[in-house]
A and B are shown apart, each in its own frame.
Chain A
Amino acid sequence: MFAAPRRDFLNEPAPENYVPGLGRGATGFTTRSDIGPAREGPSEDAIKAALAKRAEALENGEAADEDDEERFRDNENDEGLFASGTYDEDDEEADRIYKEVDDRMDSRRRARREAREKREEEEYELKNPKMSKQFADLKRALSTVSDYEWASIPEVGDLTGRNRRGRQLLQQERRFYAVPDSVLASRGPAAYDNAVDRGEGTTSSVDGTITDFRQISEAKDKMLGMRLDQAGTDSVSGSTNIDPKGYLTSLSSTIARNDEISNIAKNRELLMSVVKTDPKHANGWIAIAKLEEQANRLSAARRLIQQGCDNCPKNEDVWLENMRLNQPAHAKIIAAKAVQNLPRSVKLWLEAMKLEGDIIARKRVVRKALENIPQSVTLWKEAVNLEESPANAKILLARAVDLIPLSVDLWLALARLETDENARKVLNKARQAVRTSHEIWIAAAKLEENAGNASRVEIVIKKGIAELQRRGGMLERDQWITEAEKCEREGAVVTCQAIIRSTLGQGLEEEDQEAIWLDDARNSVARGCYETARAIYAYALRVFPTVQVLWREATNLEKQHGTRESLFGVLESAVEACPTSKDLWLLYSKEKLTISDLEGARLVLSRAFEHNPNDEDIWLAAVDIEAENNQHARARVLLSRARQEAGTERVWIKSVVLERQLKDSVAALELVNQCLHEYPTSAKAWMMKGQIYEVENRISQAREAYISGTKSCPKSVTLWLLLSRLEESQHVIIRSRSVLERAALANPKSPELWLERIRVEKRANNINQARNLVAKALQECPTSGSIWAESVSMEPRTQRKPRLISGLKTCENDPILIAAIARLFWSERRADKAKSWFEKVIKADSDIGDHWAMMYKFLENYGTEEERNDLMSKFIAADPHHGEAWTKVMKDVNNFGKSKDELLQLAASQMSP
């Protein structure tokens, strides 16, 4: 705040023309209206007088009180900064120019600006009207009020108390009590009795206080009756037929209807006036009849609709409504009248036919109808449906197609009834009659197929398509596919294939074809039409024989929905079409193996070699086959050939692995050394070398192997880990620590290394050091689930859950962390929660074998046999390859040759919550 200089004002004289309170901006107050004037600052007179005085003083050139000037000056305004300077001509000119500029600026858009300002002002005033303006008109009117009127304005008085009293009175009035019968009886027993005795319509009203009980009870009876009627309207036999399920819903509808009772009376009047003003308007009659029907006045409804029929005999709706409202016996008479009036109405004839009970009568009605309307397809169909014997139906249809040659349905129906030979003739005739119908062509094709002329089917379809293209009526591709699927469902496979063959390529760009066909086939498979899909693939593969995707899809289709023969047929043709595709070859051999056709698989692979010499995948596949079937000698021979012909790293590694599996460590060592000679940077080879030594307990050699391995491939984390573990197994923790530190230098931000460092400390019982490391590790790799899981396991039990939650936030959906949660629940013996979390883990990543093993172990404790078997089958389908414990079990030389379920059980036995 701008602080005014403190001074000893008490000893100073007051400025002469000072207005007390003005400089301070003081405002007064009003405590009580009877002792002082309204709120105000310094009085107006005082201000005026002071201003006049000041003006006088200025005029006289007297210097005003400087203190005051300074005091009341706006401290932000620097006016007078140059007040000491002299005002010369230049200044004057400058001022003039500035003034001109100002004027000019002011004159620009003046009209518009002023208009705008005015408008804004008006708007503002409209929004915030002054009090005086608001009541201006009323005030003006006040001038006419005479003195007497002024005097007679009533005092306001105390309203509040009176209001409260009023309210209380009102509340008391609202309180009602049931008047006991005794009071009523004692008041007017005669009137009460009379009311009951008297006839309908007379209300007793002796003094207006007596209630007419009779009327009320009558009304109640009426309502009850109505409700009962509605509940029983649709019961024909007279027994109640209340559906217990639908009862509530029907109740709600009845309630709605009861609400409508008053509406019905109103609507009735309205509709009556409608039909009176325009009796030729059929809808009015129908509406009023329906209304009466709703109000349960059936006789009135019938009468009204009959009037309607009389008034508009040419409207079929009125007649139909009339028939509906009447009993069947009566309706027949009405129907007869109706068809007399409207002999060409198909609807009326059909209704009339439906009214007849027995077939013969119906036939008679239909015949009559056909005499009147021979062109109605519906009537003809009805007539044919009524015939029992095919011969009669045939005759009818023959007549029908004569009369209506354009109805495809009738033609097809006729063809269906005829023998093959005749059907062909019928269809030929139909074709001539209806030249644009694809149905007839397809029917013809199906006919050929049924007759066993499969070769003719193709010709018929081809001809049909050519014809349709010429005459118009050609379908779209998609529609043809749907037709083909329809044929397949009806069992006409050859027709289906023929349709696909002739129409699949229709109207497609060259480059889109492959994708669209793939889509079509997949859609057909999804709809369960495998033959159609097969036909689509066959066609597509004829056009694109070298596209592997198509072959693979076709193989999948056969595998899932076809027979073994058809599968191998497809595979055979696939490898013939693309002999250089190793994927297809491998697929072929795998399929052979699944049916345990070892010779066949070997044969396939040898054929693959012919086309793809020196391909490592095929070599390795061949080796795998031999090794898995315990043909070790053959496998060795194969591998040695492979090493010579395609000496890739993988082949070498595979050879070493084979030797290790056969426990021939000398040969394995030799091979490893050769391999390292060829590929000195192969981390896997170094690992294996070290492991071979380790197994033989030649620790120093193993260490040497690992160390030289880490030198040649410093980026291989696994190699470092192996080295560290080797040192640890010799109880040289210090060395293992230093190894890990060096590894961390070479591979920063590697969660595996951090995890190992933490675990080394934990195993050495250095919990504090381990904690430090966890904190550091989390700083470096904050999104690693494994480190989080480790940190959680180190927390005390109560802290684990919050720790897990914060971990889940930073690395969401990390399977290892989710597994940690599941294990937490497991350890707390909350089986159902643990199970659901285990399922989540498997869903998040099904490639980690540890989790499968963990879940298996969990199910051993808490699950059923079924669940375990289910898990096992899922596990075999997922075929995981990762996970710490799992890889160890999987790659253990001792476990070679064991099946997957054995391996899982083995891994599970090592698990704990």
Chain B
Amino acid sequence: MGSVFLPHLKTGWHVDQAIMTEEERLVVIRFGRDWDEQCMRMDELLYRIADRVKNFAVIYVCDIDEVPDFNKMYELYDPCTVMFFFRNKHMMCDFGTGNNNKINWVLEDKQELIDIIETIYKGAKKGRGLVISPKDYSTKYRY
């Protein structure tokens, strides 16, 4: 359901604009397909926290079939991928999974997601490019 309420980025230009024009907040983009089961679960979670993180993060969704321009660049091969940008910089986060670039699994807990976004935002404000995730996901999820 959540994907209906989250703003969609229709083209590559929109993705770029979303990343570039945001000066103050973290830009969170979910790459995937709206009909995908994993994406639906993730979108639900994102929608439910969107209001609570609106002061420091903005959340978009992007269909990788409609906008295939970044598939190669960002290795968008998983069904659901969440990426973070701050002032036109790709923010990385060490989740312990071996892939620091994105979240490519589905989170279940709202607070966990808020914590991750907040941690990344704080690191970004300090000028870091890579932050350590508050929780280690190496054992729980395969990747």
Say which size band chain A's interface belongs to.
20 to 34
Residues A21 and B7 in contact in the complex (CB < 8 Å), given A28-B72, A40-B72, A42-B69: no
User: Restricting to A1-50, which residues have a CB under 8 Å from any CB of B?
Assistant: 3-4, 6-7, 9-10, 14-15, 18-21, 23-32, 35-37, 40-43, 46
Q: Report Cα–Cα, A37/B72, bound state, in Å.
A: 7
Question: Is there contact, CB below 8 Å, between A6 and B13?
Answer: no
User: Restricting to A215-247, which residues have a CB under 8 Å from any CB of B?
Assistant: none
Contact with A along B1-28 (1 / 0, CB 8 A): 0000001011111111111110100000
CB distance from A8 to the nearest CB of B (A): 10
- B13: chain A residues within 8 A (beta carbon): 9, 14-15, 18, 20
Residues A10 and B16 in contact in the complex (CB < 8 Å), given A21-B69, A28-B73: no
- A42: chain B residues within 8 A (beta carbon): 69, 73
- Among candidates A14, A21, A28, A40, residue contacting B14 with C-beta atoms closer than 8 Å: A14
Secondary structure of the A side of the interface? loop
Question: Is there contact, CB below 8 Å, between A35 and B69?
Answer: no
Question: Is there contact, CB below 8 Å, between A6 and B72?
Answer: no
Question: Is there contact, CB below 8 Å, between A10 and B75?
Answer: no
Q: Report Cα–Cα, A28/B76, bound state, in Å.
A: 11
- A35: chain B residues within 8 A (beta carbon): 75, 77
Q: Report Cα–Cα, A15/B72, bound state, in Å.
A: 22
CB distance from A437 to the nearest CB of B (A): 94
Q: Report Cα–Cα, A4/B20, bound state, in Å.
A: 9
Residues A20 and B15 in contact in the complex (CB < 8 Å), given A4-B20, A6-B21: yes
Residues A3 and B73 in contact in the complex (CB < 8 Å), given A14-B12, A18-B13, A20-B15: no
The answer to whether the Cβ of B70 comes within 8 Å of any Cβ in the partner chain is: yes
Question: Is there contact, CB below 8 Å, between A28 and B12?
Answer: no
Q: Report Cα–Cα, A18/B10, bound state, in Å.
A: 13
CB distance from A402 to the nearest CB of B (A): 107
Question: Is there contact, CB below 8 Å, between A24 and B70?
Answer: no
Name the residue among B16, B21, B99 with the largest chain A CB count within 10 angstroms: B16
CB distance from B93 to the nearest CB of A (A): 13
- Among candidates B14, B20, B67, B70, residue contacting A10 with C-beta atoms closer than 8 Å: B14
Residues A24 and B16 in contact in the complex (CB < 8 Å), given A37-B72, A46-B69: yes
- A6: chain B residues within 8 A (beta carbon): 21, 23
- Among candidates B20, B67, B72, residue contacting A24 with C-beta atoms closer than 8 Å: B20
Residues A18 and B12 in contact in the complex (CB < 8 Å), given A6-B21, A31-B101: yes
User: Restricting to B37-87, which residues have a CB under 8 Å from any CB of A?
Assistant: 67, 69-70, 72-75, 77
- A26: chain B residues within 8 A (beta carbon): 16, 19, 70, 73, 90
Question: Is there contact, CB below 8 Å, between A7 and B12?
Answer: no
Question: Is there contact, CB below 8 Å, between B75 and A29?
Answer: yes
- B16: chain A residues within 8 A (beta carbon): 18, 20-21, 23-24, 26
CB distance from A12 to the nearest CB of B (A): 8
Name the residue among B15, B69, B73 with the largest chain A CB count within 10 angstroms: B73
Q: Report Cα–Cα, A139/B81, bound state, in Å.
A: 40
Question: Is there contact, CB below 8 Å, between B67 and A3?
Answer: no
CB distance from A35 to the nearest CB of B (A): 6
- B10: chain A residues within 8 A (beta carbon): 14
- B12: chain A residues within 8 A (beta carbon): 14, 18-21
Question: Is there contact, CB below 8 Å, between B7 and A10?
Answer: yes
CB distance from A73 to the nearest CB of B (A): 15
User: Restricting to B112-131, which residues have a CB under 8 Å from any CB of A?
Assistant: none
Residues A36 and B67 in contact in the complex (CB < 8 Å), given A21-B16, A24-B88: no
- A37: chain B residues within 8 A (beta carbon): 72
- B90: chain A residues within 8 A (beta carbon): 26, 29
Say which size band chain B's interface belongs to.
20 to 34
Q: Report Cα–Cα, A42/B67, bound state, in Å.
A: 13
- B98: chain A residues within 8 A (beta carbon): 31
Q: Report Cα–Cα, A23/B19, bound state, in Å.
A: 11
- B14: chain A residues within 8 A (beta carbon): 9-10, 14
CB distance from A120 to the nearest CB of B (A): 35
Q: Report Cα–Cα, A26/B17, bound state, in Å.
A: 12
Q: Report Cα–Cα, A157/B20, bound state, in Å.
A: 45
- A20: chain B residues within 8 A (beta carbon): 11-13, 15-16, 67, 69-70
Contact with B along A821-836 (1 / 0, CB 8 A): 0000000000000000
Q: Report Cα–Cα, A677/B75, bound state, in Å.
A: 114
Q: Report Cα–Cα, A42/B73, bound state, in Å.
A: 7
Q: Report Cα–Cα, A37/B76, bound state, in Å.
A: 12
Question: Is there contact, CB below 8 Å, between A14 and B72?
Answer: no
- B21: chain A residues within 8 A (beta carbon): 4, 6-7, 9
Name the residue among A20, A25, A36, A43 with the largest chain B CB count within 10 angstroms: A20
Question: Is there contact, CB below 8 Å, between A36 and B99?
Answer: no
Q: Report Cα–Cα, A227/B10, bound state, in Å.
A: 98
- A29: chain B residues within 8 A (beta carbon): 74-75, 90, 101
- B18: chain A residues within 8 A (beta carbon): 9-10
Contact with B along A734-764 (1 / 0, CB 8 A): 0000000000000000000000000000000
Q: Report Cα–Cα, A36/B77, bound state, in Å.
A: 9
Contact with B along A595-610 (1 / 0, CB 8 A): 0000000000000000
- A21: chain B residues within 8 A (beta carbon): 12, 16, 69-70, 73
- B73: chain A residues within 8 A (beta carbon): 21, 26-28, 40-42
Q: Report Cα–Cα, A28/B77, bound state, in Å.
A: 14
- A30: chain B residues within 8 A (beta carbon): 75
- B77: chain A residues within 8 A (beta carbon): 35-36
CB distance from B20 to the nearest CB of A (A): 6
- A14: chain B residues within 8 A (beta carbon): 10-14
Question: Is there contact, CB below 8 Å, between B17 and A9?
Answer: yes
- A32: chain B residues within 8 A (beta carbon): 99
- B15: chain A residues within 8 A (beta carbon): 20
Question: Is there contact, CB below 8 Å, between A36 and B69?
Answer: no
- A4: chain B residues within 8 A (beta carbon): 20-21
Q: Report Cα–Cα, A19/B74, bound state, in Å.
A: 15
- A9: chain B residues within 8 A (beta carbon): 13-14, 17-18, 21
CB distance from B129 to the nearest CB of A (A): 12
Q: Report Cα–Cα, A24/B90, bound state, in Å.
A: 11
- A46: chain B residues within 8 A (beta carbon): 69
Q: Report Cα–Cα, A35/B76, bound state, in Å.
A: 10
Q: Report Cα–Cα, A15/B21, bound state, in Å.
A: 16
Name the residue among B10, B17, B70, B75 with the largest chain A CB count within 10 angstroms: B17
CB distance from A15 to the nearest CB of B (A): 6
CB distance from A739 to the nearest CB of B (A): 69
Smallest Cβ-Cβ distance to A36: which chain B residue: B75
Residues A28 and B7 in contact in the complex (CB < 8 Å), given A9-B21, A20-B67: no
User: Restricting to A35-73, which residues have a CB under 8 Å from any CB of B?
Assistant: 35-37, 40-43, 46
Q: Report Cα–Cα, A23/B12, bound state, in Å.
A: 11
- A28: chain B residues within 8 A (beta carbon): 72-75
Name the residue among B9, B14, B67, B70 with the largest chain A CB count within 10 angstroms: B14
User: Restricting to B90-143, which residues have a CB under 8 Å from any CB of A?
Assistant: 90, 98-99, 101
Contact with B along A325-342 (1 / 0, CB 8 A): 000000000000000000
CB distance from A54 to the nearest CB of B (A): 14
Residues A31 and B99 in contact in the complex (CB < 8 Å), given A9-B18, A10-B7, A26-B16: yes
CB distance from A225 to the nearest CB of B (A): 74
Other than the given A26-B19, A41-B73, 18 more pairs (CB < 8 A) read A4-B20, A7-B21, A9-B18, A10-B9, A15-B13, A19-B12, A21-B70, A26-B90, A27-B73, A28-B72, A28-B74, A29-B74, A29-B101, A31-B98, A31-B99, A31-B101, A36-B72, A46-B69
Question: Can you list 8 A-B contacts with CB-CB less than 8 angstroms, sorted by A residue number?
Answer: A9-B18, A9-B21, A10-B9, A21-B12, A23-B16, A24-B20, A31-B98, A42-B73
Question: Which residues of B line the A interface, CB within 8 A?
Answer: 7, 9-21, 23, 67, 69-70, 72-75, 77, 88, 90, 98-99, 101
Question: Which residues of A line the B interface, CB within 8 A?
Answer: 3-4, 6-7, 9-10, 14-15, 18-21, 23-32, 35-37, 40-43, 46
Interface pairs A-B: 9 shortest CB-CB = A20-B12, A14-B13, A20-B69, A28-B73, A14-B11, A9-B17, A36-B75, A18-B13, A24-B16
